Chains A and B, each alone.
Chain A
Amino acid sequence: MRINSPLKKGMADMKCNIAVASIHEYLDGDLPRDEIKHLQEHLQSCAACSTRLDALEKTNAFVQSLPAEAPPSYLSDRIMKSLPKSRRPASWTS
């Protein structure tokens, strides 16, 4: 017996797979405002998706916080020295 079919819970109810797709759109900054509302409603009643969003936001923040690795100071020199002496060997003869 499927009394608790999702449809019976009303229009606002969202399936988790759709919610997860929305979560990613949201994190991309691409989720339209009305769909954000929809998602919020789902998150209020679904601990799993809510936890998922938290974890993804945390992951993003952590990855972004990774400090840049600086190149060694000699790298610019090494690059400039590796360039061919003249870009156009023919040009100075003309």
Chain B
Amino acid sequence: MKPLETRLARLARKGDQRAFAEIVDLYKDKLYHLAYRMTGNRQEAEDVVQEAFLRVYKNLDRYDENQKFSTWIYRIATNLCIDRLRKRRAVYSLDAESTDHDGLDGYSMMPSDERTPESELLLSETQKLIREAIATLPVKYKSIMILRYLQDLSLQEISDVLDMPVTTVKTRVHRGREFLRKKLEHKL
């Protein structure tokens, strides 16, 4: 028997909106968490999640059932996040020079939202530091570290989601880890 998501996707493809609502229910929290950590902004995270589901819906015909549904939906959402961060970077880096070293200079210049709901007042200092450290990760490491450590994807799954060799994923996980270690080492 096919996994639940695949069956739901088939039903949704035939126009069953309730089946699609179930897909939304299964993935909205994960995608929101991903998008919020990627963009650092609630409004943008909501927009990304909405856009991701819309794309999924419109492209159900193109979903390849040999692939895990989660891989497909993560790919769509991650790419939307990366696009946003790239655009943001383009806007902020008007002062030329940053000819895409494609790496450590590319901080994603986040206009993080300053809203502080009550729950956040309770957030420990430690958590704030970790969030800040993740926020300053360059985009290409950020997506990988979030998929690895906040979404708990394996290196192979990340390689499928981002369509890049596992060896590249590995190298980036290693660098991302070192980056975070340096950021946090003397603070925690």
A contact set with B: CB distance below 8 Å: 21, 24, 27-28, 52, 55-56, 58-60, 62-72, 75-76, 78-80, 82-84, 86-88, 91
| Interface contact B13-A87, CB-CB below 8 Å | yes
Q: Do B25 and A63 have beta carbons less than 8 Å apart? A: no
Interface residues on B, range: 35 or more
> With A28-B155, A60-B149 as given contacts, are A66 and B130 in contact (CB-CB < 8 Å)?
yes
**Does B54 count as interface, using CB distance less than 8 angstroms?**
yes
What are 27 A-B interface contacts by the 8 Å CB criterion? A24-B170, A24-B173, A24-B174, A28-B170, A28-B173, A56-B177, A59-B184, A62-B184, A63-B130, A63-B134, A63-B149, A64-B149, A65-B130, A66-B127, A68-B29, A68-B150, A69-B36, A70-B29, A71-B29, A71-B49, A75-B46, A75-B50, A76-B28, A82-B53, A83-B20, A83-B53, A83-B57
Interface residues of B in 129-188 (CB under 8 A from A): 130-131, 134, 145, 149-150, 155, 170, 173-174, 177-178, 180-181, 184-185, 188
**Nearest B residue (CB) for A71:** B32
**Which label, helix, strand, loop or mixed, suits the secondary structure of the B interface?**
helix
C-alpha spacing A28/B158, complex, angstroms: 13
Nearest CB in chain A to that of B179: its residue: A59
A79 touches B53 (CB 8 A): yes
Residues of B within 8 A of A21 (CB): 174
Chain A contact residues, majority secondary structure: helix
A82 to B48, CA, bound (A): 13
CB-based contact B29/A86 at 8 Å: no
On whether the beta carbons of B126 and A62 are closer than 8 Å, the reply is yes
In the bound complex, how far is the Cα of B84 from the Cα of A63, in angstroms? Answer: 23
- A62-B184, A80-B20 given; name 18 further pairs at CB < 8 Å: A24-B170, A27-B177, A28-B170, A28-B173, A56-B178, A58-B188, A62-B126, A69-B45, A70-B29, A72-B42, A75-B49, A79-B54, A82-B50, A82-B54, A83-B57, A84-B58, A87-B12, A88-B15
- Verify B177–A71 contact, CB threshold 8 A: no
Q: What is the bound-complex CA distance between A84 and B17, given in angstroms?
A: 11
What A residues does B150 contact at CB under 8 A?
63-64, 66, 68
Selected from A55, A66, A76, A79, the residue in CB contact (under 8 A) with B185 is A55
Asked if residues A79 and B134 are in contact (CB atoms below 8 Å), the reply is no
